[in-house]
Amino acid sequence: MDTFTTLVVFLYVISVYRVSNARDTITVDLVIRDGETITSVGGSFELGFFSPDDSNNRYVGIWYKKVSTRTVVWVANREFPLTDSSGVLKVTDQGTLVILSGTNGIIWSSNSLQPAMNPNAQLLESGNLVMKNGNDSDPEKFLWQSFDYPCDTALPGMKFGRNTVTGLEWYLSSWKSTDDPSKGNFTYRLDPSGFPQLILRSGSAVTFRSGPWNGLRFSGFPEIRSNPVYKYAFVLNEEEMYYTYELLNSSVITRLVLSPNGYVQRFTWIDRTRGWILYSSAQKDDCDSYALCGAYGSCNINHSPKCTCMKGFVPKFPNEWSMVDWSNGCVRSTPLDCHKGEGFVKYSGVKLPDTRNSWFNESMSLKECASMCLGNCSCTAYANSDIRNGGSGCLLWFGDLIDIREFAENGQELYVRMAASELDAFSSSNSSSEKRRKQVIISSVSILGVLFLIVILTLYVVKKKKLKSNGKVKHYLEGGEANERHEHLELPLFDLAALLSATNNFSSDNKLGEGGFGPVYKGILQEGQEIAIKRLSKNSRQGLNEFKNEVESIAKLQHRNLVKLLGCCIHGNERMLIYEFMPNKSLDFFIFDQMRSVVLDWPKRFVIINGVARGLLYLHQDSRLRVIHRDLKAENVLLDSEMSPKISDFGLARSFGGNETEANTTRVAGTLGYMSPEYATEGLYSTKSDVFSFGVLVLEIVTGKRNRGFFHPDHGYNLLGHAWTLYMEGRSLELIDPSMGDTYNLSEVLRTINMGLLCVQRFPSDRPSMHSVVLMLGSEGAVPQPKEPCFFTERNVLEANPFPGEHMLFSGNETSITLLEAR
C-alpha cells in the first residue's frame, strides 16, 4: 500500500471514529458553552445555544440536525433568555441541569428532586434530553426528561396528557411569536373534566376541541385513520391519561406543532428543496371554531348558512340568527317534563358535544346507557364511548349540548333527549323534510327583505339610548352639569323596571350576598342573559363613593381576568351596578370550606393563581391608566363556569396617570390580613401594595387557610409567619392543602410558595412586579430567595394608626376597615 492510500485510509478511520463517538452526553466535568453542541447518537437531533430569527437573545434548545432549515423543537430557558454569549449548560452533582449566565448566575434549572449518583444528561435519538444516573437507561428511573416539559412541539413517543398520581401534565404552549419562544397566548392540553378531550385555549377562552376519544380516533378528527407515516394510541387508566404517536418509518421526520397564531398542525419534512409540508391540521374550517352555533346548534360546512338548530329546537334569538350571529344557540320547542314521559332522537354522523359536563362507564352496553340516561332527569343525551366492534361503553351528558358539527364520514351516533310530544312528530318529519327546507328558505328570504329596515331602526334607537345613558351617568358622577373636560363613559343605562323583573322585585331568593357596598342579587333579563346586580344600600355613605369610583375606574377596562361591568342603573335614589354573572361564586366559597375545597385540585388552583396574576398585570401595566385595586382578596376573585378567575369589586380602586407610581391617603380602606404594612400603617399605596395582597392570596390558595385568624398550636404567627417558618426549615411541603390529594406538581407548588413569599416581603422595593410574577409562574427556572415578611396583625394595625385626629372602624362580622376623618 503506497503512502497516499495509507493516508486516505487513516483519514477515513479518523472520520468514522469521530462520527461514531460524537458527543451526546453532558457530565459533571464536561459542560456546553455557547458555540458548542451535542448530537444524538444517530445524528437526528442537536442541542446547544441558538438565537431565533430577528432576535439577539440566546436560548438553549434542541433542533433537528438532519433538516437544513433549523427547526427548534424544545427550549429550556424560554422565559429567561441570555443577552450575550456567556451562557454555560452544566450538570450539577445533585443531578440537575442548569444554565449559567456570566453575569446573573443560574437563570434556569431542571429542578430534579430525586437523589443522584454520577449524574449525566444525554440527548437521545428521539429528541428527548434525559438526566440519568450513570449508564442507567431505564426510562422509569430517569431523574428528569425534557419530554415531561414540552414547549410548542410534540415529537413521536412523547406523552400528551397528564399523570393523575403525580399531577404532572404534558401539554403544548405556543411561542409568543416566531422570534420569541416565551409562552404565547395559546395552550393545547388534555382536559380531564368529564370524559377527556383535547382543548385549545386562547388564554382561558376555548377556541377548539378535539371531541372525546372513541376507540379509533378523537370524535372531531374524522380524517385520522391508519396511515403509512405514524400510528397513534390513547391511554386512560387509574394512573395516566394521554395521547401519543409513534413513527412507522424511522426515516420519516414529522412533528405536531402549536403555532404562535393558535393552529395545531402536523408537518412532514420532504427534502431540502420542498422543506416542511403541511400533512394535516386540527382546525379545518369555520365549523371547528368552538361553539360557533351555540347550545343545541349544529354546524355543517357544506350548508349555507353553516348553523342550524337540532331537531326539536329553535333559535333562542331569531333576530340574531338572521344577522348570522348564532352564538346564543337554540332552545327546545317543547320543554322537557321528566314526569310526562320522554325519549331520544338519534343523530348520525356528528362530532360529539363538549364532554366537560359528562359521565362515562366503559363496561356498560348502549341499552343500559339509554336506561340510565332516561332514569336521570338531568341527563340530556347519551352515546357509546367506544365505537369499535359495534360499540360499547356509556357516555352521558348533563346540561346543554355544545359544539356539535356534522361530518360526511366517520361521524358518530348521538341520542338526544326529547319531550314525548315531540317524538311522534319526528317519525313523520322525514317524509316532509324537503318541504320544510323550502319553507325555511322562503322564510329566510322574507326576513332578509325587512332586515335592512330593522338594522337602521335598531342603530337609531341604540344611539339615542347611549347618548341619553352617557349623559345621565356623567351628570350624576360629576354632581351637576356636565363638564367638557371629562370624557363620555360608554356605559349602558339599565331600566329599573327591567331589573325589578329580572330579580323578582329583588326577592330574597335571588340574593347572592352582601358587602360594604350593599346587597348583590342574581337576575335574568328578558332575553335570558344572567346578570349580577350590586344595589347600593341607602344607608351606605362609603357605598356611594364606591359606586362613583367603580364606574369611573373600570367602565373601559376589558380583560378576561376582570369581571365585566355591563352597565348601571340610576333611578331616583336607586344606584345599581350590573355585572356579568359568575355561576361559581367567589374563590373563598371553595378554598376555605373543607368539603368544597376538593373541587379545586392543584391544576385548577394554579390556573386561578395565573389568571389573577395576569389580571393584576393588566391593571398595573397594560390598561389605559395604571389601576391599583387596593382590596384584592379571595372574596373579590369570582369564578366563571370553567373555574377561571375574574377580579371584581373596584370600589376602592385608584388610578395613576403619567409617571405616578405611588400615593398617600388619609382614608385607608381595605381588608385586614391582605393589606400591605406600608398601606395599613402609613396610608402609602402603590402597585406593590397589590403585589402584597396577591402574595397573601397565593399562600391562602396553596394552604386552604385564611391569613387572618390563622391559628397554630406551636406559635402565634399568622399564615405568613407560619409559611416563612416552614420555608426556612425546608418544610414547605407541610403547607400544601391536603384536600388537593396527589394532584400537585411538586416543583410547581414549591416554586409558587417561594414566589408568594417574595410578594409579601416587608419592604415594597423587595417585592417583584406583577410582570416578574407572571414570568416566574410560567417558567421552570430558579426563583430568588425571599426575605422575612412582615407578620403584622390587627393589633399591630390598630396600635400603629399614624393619622392624628382620625380613627379606624371595623365591625366584628366584616373584615374590611376604613380610616375616617374625625368630625
The pLDDT value given to residue 658: 59
Yes or no: say if 639 and 648 are a contact pair by the CB < 8 Å rule: no
Q: Which long-range contacts (CB under 8 A, 24 or more apart) does 790-796 make?
A: 790/677, 790/720, 790/760, 790/761, 790/762, 791/717, 791/718, 791/720, 791/721, 791/724, 792/677, 792/680, 792/681, 793/718, 794/672, 794/708, 796/681
Q: Does domain 459-580 have CATH number 3.30.300.90?
A: no
Number of Cβ within a 10 Å radius of residue 253: 17
Residues 478, 481, 485, 490: what is their CA dihedral angle, to the nearest 10 degrees? 70
Yes or no: say if 787 and 795 are a contact pair by the CB < 8 Å rule: no
Pairing of β 264-269 and β 172-177: unpaired
CA atoms lying within 13 Å on the CB side of residue 39: 13
The pLDDT value given to residue 649: 86
- CA 286 from centroid of its chain's CA atoms: 23
- CA 535 from centroid of its chain's CA atoms: 31
Name the CATH code of domain 19-149 (choices 2.102.10.10, 2.20.25.90, 1.20.140.10, 2.90.10.10): 2.90.10.10
Cα 371 from Cα 3, distance rounded (Å):
89
Strands (E), 652-797: 654-656, 662-664, 669-671, 684-686
Yes or no: say if 204 and 611 are a contact pair by the CB < 8 Å rule: yes
Residues of the chain under the 50 pLDDT cut: 7-21, 430-432, 434, 466-488, 541-542, 793-823
Cα 395 from Cα 373, distance rounded (Å):
9
Pairing of β 565-571 and β 684-686: unpaired
- Beta bridge partners, 37, equal 48
One DSSP character per residue, 657-697 reads -TT--EEE-SS-EEETTTS-HHHHHH-EEEHHHHHHHHHHH
Cell triple for 430: 322525514
State the amino acid at position 102 in one-letter form.
Answer: G
The pLDDT value given to residue 812: 31
The pLDDT value given to residue 490: 57
Q: Which of 148, 403, 631, 690 is catalytic?
A: 631
Cα 411 from Cα 267, distance rounded (Å):
25
Q: Running DSSP on this structure, what letter comes out for residue 354? A: P
Strands (E), 192-311: 197-202, 205-212, 230-236, 240-247, 254-258, 264-269, 276-281, 297-299, 307-309
Domains 19-149 and 459-580 share a fold: no
The pLDDT value given to residue 800: 44
Cα 749 from Cα 23, distance rounded (Å):
35
Yes or no: say if 519 and 537 are a contact pair by the CB < 8 Å rule: yes
For 8, phi then psi, to 5°, come to: -60, -45
Number of Cβ within a 10 Å radius of residue 153: 20
One DSSP character per residue, 401-413 reads ---EEE-SSS-EE
Domain spans in the chain, listed from the N-terminal domain onward:
19-149, 151-284, 287-428, 459-580, 588-821
One DSSP character per residue, 506-527 reads T-GGGEEEE-SS-EEEEEE-TT
- Beta bridge partners, 665, equal none
The pLDDT value given to residue 545: 60
Q: What is the pLDDT of residues 491-536, one digit of tens each?
A: 688 888 899 999 988 888 888 888 767 889 999 998 888 999 988 8
Give kind and range of the element (H or E) at residue 380.
Answer: strand 379-383
Closest CA to 821 of 541, 543, 480: 541
State the amino acid at position 158 in one-letter form.
Answer: M
Yes or no: say if 685 and 654 are a contact pair by the CB < 8 Å rule: yes
Residue given cell 413513527 in the structure block: 247
Cα 407 from Cα 571, distance rounded (Å):
53
pTM tops 0.75 = no
* Secondary structure (3-state) at 798: helix
* Secondary structure (3-state) at 560: coil
**What's the residue count for the chain?**
823
The pLDDT value given to residue 14: 43
Known catalytic membership, residue 84:
no
What CATH topology corresponds to 588-821? Transferase(Phosphotransferase); domain 1 (1.10.510)
Measure the CA angle with vertex 74, ends 145 and 609; round to 5°. Answer: 80
Q: In Å, how far are 22, 133, 178, 781 from 121, measured between CA atoms?
A: 15, 9, 28, 18
State the amino acid at position 582 in one-letter form.
Answer: M
The CATH code that applies to domain 151-284 is: 2.90.10
